[in-house]
Structures are given as C-alpha cells and as structure tokens.
Structure 1
C-alpha cells in the first residue's frame, strides 16, 4: 500500500497573560475585543479551554476532523489541544468568550479530576456545544461580567471570587449539557471513571487494552467498566476505542506520519492491524478517509 503523507502543520497558540492584559490564566470579553484572532491562522490549537457564547453566528468550524455549523444562541465548548479551523465572517460574529487554563483553578479546587466530571470536556461521543434560551444566556453573561469586573479591578481576594464564579458557571453549564444530551448525572461512588479518562489522555498512544488501565487502577476490569458505564453511559472499551480513533484521525489528517510510523507510534504489531482497526471503526480505509476530508466531506 502506498504510504500517505500529509505535510500540513498546525500552529500551537499558548495562553499569554501579557497579550490578554490580565494577571491570571483566564480572560473573558466580547468578540470585538479579539476581532481577527479566529482566522489569523488557517489551523491552530490552544493549550486552554475556549468557550464561545454566540448571540449571532455564521459559517462553520472544523474541530479536529468534525464540521460544526455555527448557529445563533449556541454555546461552543472547546477543550485544549483540539485542532481549530474557522470558516466564518468574523465581522458578523457577535459573542462573548471565556478562555482559561485548567491549572488556573488548581490552587482553589483540590479535585484534580474536576474537568473530567464536566461532561462536555474531552468528549468524543456528544457534540461540544449546546443551545440556550435567552434567560440562560443572560445568566451566563452575567456571571462572565462578574469575572471581567474582577479582572479589570483586582483586589486581594479577586482570585478566590473569580474561581468561585467560574466553578459555578461550569457546573450549571454541565447540568444543561447533561439534560440536552440525556447523559447520566449520578453522584460518583468513586473516582475510577474519571481516573480512567485521565489515564487515557496520558497513555492512549501506548496502551489500548482496558485491562491495562484496570491494572493501573488496581481494580478488576468489571469494576472499571461498571464505574465508566455509571458515569458516562458507555462501556470502558467504547471510551477507549473512541479516544484511540480520535487520536488516529488527528495524526492522519494533521501530521506528516506515514501509516507504518503510526503503527509504531500506537504500538500496533503490524500496519495491517492498524488499518483493520480503522476500517472497522469508520467503514473507510485511511486513504478513503483522507481523500474525503480533503474534498470537504467531514463528520
């Protein structure tokens, strides 16, 4: 089989406190404040969360390998390190944005798995957006206004207040998201499901068996699967395969790795095993998938 090489590169955009004009790894504002940044680069990724509360929207976003049509009254919830390619008329967009790094909350919130408890973060099965009513939108914007006020006029306890408001905002969005997509919102009996998600982010390149993760957590595969099912409504195997597939698609589309190199990168014993897995999950060969994407056929 002829090797596939995609030479296009990504631009990585880190959070810059200097550029944002704030002393914390968080900022909020209106679309006019950052006009031009969405289309400054053809394709880029960030190391921070990006939330957009659209009043008026147009065009679409290619997020990783998925096409998201942008609509009025949409809340777009983007996690770090996702590939973004905006096809919009920025001058016609009207939104409020919220950007923050995960470690911004670490001093105040001891729960290291907090972002994994948010159903819209690092999600592969449900869309990274939801629609809101005018009342909900107004409440979100009100909370963002409180954060902005503290950023503009910081005092001794501003950090605590900002994190408190951010925490509340993220949780009420999570409730709305769970309702919109009928996701479980049970109080977890343990952290196994969230630890599993965290481990997937760290080891998906080298570990593709649920048993390996169960061993790392010192529990049985059955216990891990039960915890994942209760928390996310899918099996541990499904979560692993979807995360692996997500990473494979991104590497195929946005790196210069060949199929043989990808097989090595992801510890497949042979390129044919990798190709068979990909075909089983997508119904397409690597060549077909890349060809479709390059010709505007997105998921």
Structure 2
C-alpha cells in the first residue's frame, strides 16, 4: 500500500504545511485520483473543504458521502480511497504535520485535543453552511498568500490562522455531536489517547497505560470519562478492534498472524474479543466489507 509522505520541496513550500485547491492536490499527492484513488495513506493531518462535490470516500473503514459544503478530517496513516465525480468539483485542502504545531505551541497534545482527529466513535465529516464554508476558505486563502509570498512574520501569521481554524472547527464539531468541550483538569485523558496510538499493538490492558502515566487505573478512568464521556476501556477496545479490522482488510493477515502481531495468547481469544465487540466473526466482517457493506 502506498504511503505518501509530506515533502516541503515537493509541495513548493518552506513550512510543514500547505493549502491549495483541488487541481493542485494531484501535483503534490500522486495517490489522489478523484475517480478511484486506490487505497493509500499519508503521514500528515489533512482537512478537505468541499464547496461542491458528489461522490464518496472510504475512510476509517467507513463509506462517507461527500456533498456540497462538507468538511472531511483525516489523521496520519488513516487508510482512504476516493470516488468523486469530476463534474463541478470544487474544494480546498489543508495539510500539515504535527511538528509544524509542536515547534510553535508548548502544548504537545494539541492535536489529540481536537475531537475530529483520531476519532473512531463519531463521523469524520462535518456539514456546514455555504456562509461558514466561505468564511473558512477566506482564511485559508490568507494562509496560501503567506506561503506563496512569504514575509518576515509570515510563519507567525500562518500558525495563528491555522490555530484559529482548528479550534473553530473543533467547537463546531463538538456542538454537532454534543461532545464535551470543557477545559480539562489534567492531561491524562489526552496522554492516554496518544499512548494508545503508539502502543496499541503491544499493550492491551488499562493497567499498562496507567503504569506508563504513573497513575492508578481509577484516576485514568475518571480522567477519560470526564473528557470523552466514555470509559478508558471503551477507548482502548475500540482502537484495538479498529487495528484488527485494518489487518483483515489491508494486510490480508490470517487470524493467527493478527493474534501474534497484537500479542493475543491464542487466535481463539482474538476471535472471541472481536465477536464480543462487533457482533460479527472475523470471517463475517471481511465478507460484509468485501461485499460493499462498510462496518
């Protein structure tokens, strides 16, 4: 499977960030084909702002209908496949690397605080009004201008505009899905989310993550419940199921191979876990997926 990496020189920019219109995307991202891209990943955060669109994208193993005034959110290494109609297609993309934010913000967990990134429970698209889309795209145009005609303070302006856009979208996403947006009392929930992304293949017990954080299981669960309104166990199991599905669909591993990779003691334990979480056997899930039923 192709993984497309962000290269500043290839993108024609000096920063780990780029903004452009649809016709520019294929120049910097050869994997993007509006008719049928094939499955690929990238190593960047990506947000797509569709002013006009018709078609779909398979993202996070789900088929998302792409319509007018739709915003799509993609996290690094998420597998996706585009099927869009070329007629009347009009969109803008925003691509950036986490290091771009980390170099500027003291908060190294910022991307994990954004509800639409690394999201498995709620949709990865956000419908907006035409006026809202126009307002966002106006700021994206400002960013593009600073990239094309850089000045001494351009980097600071770009980061400020990006920060504004990301937080504004986060507020809107939270409102759309009735998600909590209170200021966290601590960072444990976000640190846990980050650690899951880093260690899910070898650590599947809450106690292991609590130990990494240097806190009790009870403290971790309270922090996750307060911030995400679900238990720590739910987040971990949800992410593990997603990893199993990825291996079934994209790596074509056998259940035995997946069990070994994810450190299940026996393939039967993996199969029971998967059935308990999804209601399907691994074979049923794979058959449904191949028949076009996206779980």
Query: 1:38 Cα deviation (Å)?
Result: 2.2
Please state if 1:38 is matched with 2:29: no
Which structure has more RCO (C-alpha within 8 Å, separation ≥ 6)? 1
Q: Judge conservation of contact 1:186–1:230 (CA < 8 Å) in 2.
A: no
Please state if 1:50 is matched with 2:46: yes
Match in the other structure for 2:7: 16
Q: Give the secondary structure class of the aligned counterpart of 2:73.
A: strand
Distance in structure 1 (CA, Å) of the matches to 2:185 and 2:101 = 23
Query: 1:34 Cα deviation (Å)?
Result: 2.5
| Alignment equivalent of 1:134, drawn from 130, 133, 145 | 130
Please state if 1:145 is matched with 2:141: yes
Q: Give the secondary structure class of the aligned counterpart of 1:125.
A: coil
Q: Judge conservation of contact 1:12–1:46 (CA < 8 Å) in 2.
A: yes
The superposition leaves residues 6-27 of structure 1 with CA deviations (integer Å, 9 ceiling, x where unpaired) of: xxxx111111222211111111
Match in the other structure for 2:120: 124
Structure 1 stretches of 5 or more lacking a match?
A: 1-9
* Pairing 1:1-299 to 2, within 5 Å after superposition: 10-34=1-25, 38-39=32-33, 41-299=37-295
Q: Judge conservation of contact 2:4–2:31 (CA < 8 Å) in 1.
A: no
Q: Judge conservation of contact 2:37–2:83 (CA < 8 Å) in 1.
A: no
Distance in structure 1 (CA, Å) of the matches to 2:20 and 2:37 = 21
Q: Give the secondary structure class of the aligned counterpart of 1:90.
A: coil
The count of aligned residue pairs is 290
Distance in structure 2 (CA, Å) of the matches to 1:137 and 1:89 = 20
Q: Give the secondary structure class of the aligned counterpart of 1:87.
A: strand
Normalising by structure 2, report the TM-score.
0.95
Structure 2 stretches of 5 or more lacking a match?
A: none
Q: Give the secondary structure class of the aligned counterpart of 2:138.
A: helix
Q: Judge conservation of contact 1:11–1:41 (CA < 8 Å) in 2.
A: no
Distance in structure 1 (CA, Å) of the matches to 2:12 and 2:203 = 41
User: Could you list the runs of 4 or more consecutive aligned residues of structure 1 that deviate by over 4 angstroms after TM superposition?
Assistant: none
Query: 1:139 Cα deviation (Å)?
Result: 1.7
Q: Judge conservation of contact 1:48–1:81 (CA < 8 Å) in 2.
A: yes
Note the aligned Cα RMSD (angstroms). Answer: 1.3
Distance in structure 2 (CA, Å) of the matches to 1:240 and 1:143 = 36
